[in-house]
Every structure is written in structure tokens, then in C-alpha cells.
A and B are shown apart, each in its own frame.
Chain A
């Protein structure tokens, strides 16, 4: 049979609370599962798509990342004064730019993005 009917028990059995009780008693002596997050750092696995980092020395200002970004968070100005601007508030951490970059100038590090209280502070003007 490729379908199972999980109807093989007594519906009129009132049930008990023993299972929760035993788990709860065991938990008293266990170490807490939660962390005190900001005081205790968390470990992010390898390959986590975290905070946006850009390396100026590698970048050739080819504008590929600007074109490929789904949310338009990256602005590249390849004029006389070369400018690179990223809005981390818009970034969705998809890592498309990291994949597309021919010079490996973009890295989504294994760090969390710092929280800002103002919208303007999330725009990073990199030079």
C-alpha cells in the first residue's frame, strides 16, 4: 500500500500526561538549550550568507553585480571618481553577486549584519 491510515488506536482511551511529565523532569537537570544571544556569540556554519563585504583592490568596476542584484542594492559608478555603494538594508543575502563576480571582489562573510536604527546608516559608501 502506498497510503497509510494511521487509525489503529483507541479514540476512547482518555490518555495520560506521563510523556510530558518524564520529559519535563529530565529537562530540569539538562543544560538549557537556549543561549543568551548578544552576550554569548553564536556559531554560524561554513557557507553562511552573511554580511556584505567588498574588496576594493580586486574590484574592476564591471557593473555585473549591479545588473544581477535582484533588489538593486548595489550601485556602481565607473566614472572618473569610481564609487561603489551598497544598501545593506535592501540586501536579501542571496549571494548572486558573490557568484557572478569575475574577480572574487565580493564576499558574503560568515558574520551577521549589524543592526542599524536609521535607514540612512545601512547605505555603505565604499571607496
Chain B
């Protein structure tokens, strides 16, 4: 597929299964990678997972086109803890990004309506899913 060739320029494939491709994308190149996904005509983002592996926070975008699953993993350094929004390109990521930001304490730059979703507004303290 053209998109996969395109993405290989920005990151590398670390796992490939039937109907599934898992990419790891460097933090700097995420914007380009998302852009190429958007240009390829994929409109559906199914989920955004986040995981704190101790050193850095891994954010995984799961894009879906019919039965094809495209997963982009982006490690974010803990001292930075911020990432650009993708809601401008994928409106469906609105709530997913909100949850990611409050559960893992990642600042989403340019999110249309930042704020708490599940947690109380006056919640202070460590983001719950940080290790």
C-alpha cells in the first residue's frame, strides 16, 4: 500500500500481522505521519491508548479502514509530556484525546476544548495512570 511506504519514511514497522500493521514513529515526526494517514483517506480513528513504561509515555493511535488496523506508536519523553492534537484532522479523536490527557497527564496542544472528562474539575494530583 502507498500509505505504508509513505509511513516507512517517518518510522519503522515493528510488528506485522494479518490485517494489522504496527509502526513506531519518532516523537518529532508524528505530525507528518498523521498527515499522511489523513491524506490517504482514512477517516476513522478507533482508539488512542497510552502506556507509561517508566521512561517515556507511549501513545498508540489505532486507525481503522474496514478490516485493516493501522497502529502508530509514539513515545513521548516524560519531561516533555505534550503532543499536538489530531482532532483538527480526525474529529472523532475529540474524546479520546481528552481521556488521554487527563489519565496520563499529557498536554494536548491545540485541543478545541481542553478540560476534564471523567475526573472532577478540581482534581489535583498525579495523573491516575502514570506509574
Do A and B share a direct contact in the complex (Cβ within 8 angstroms)?
A: no
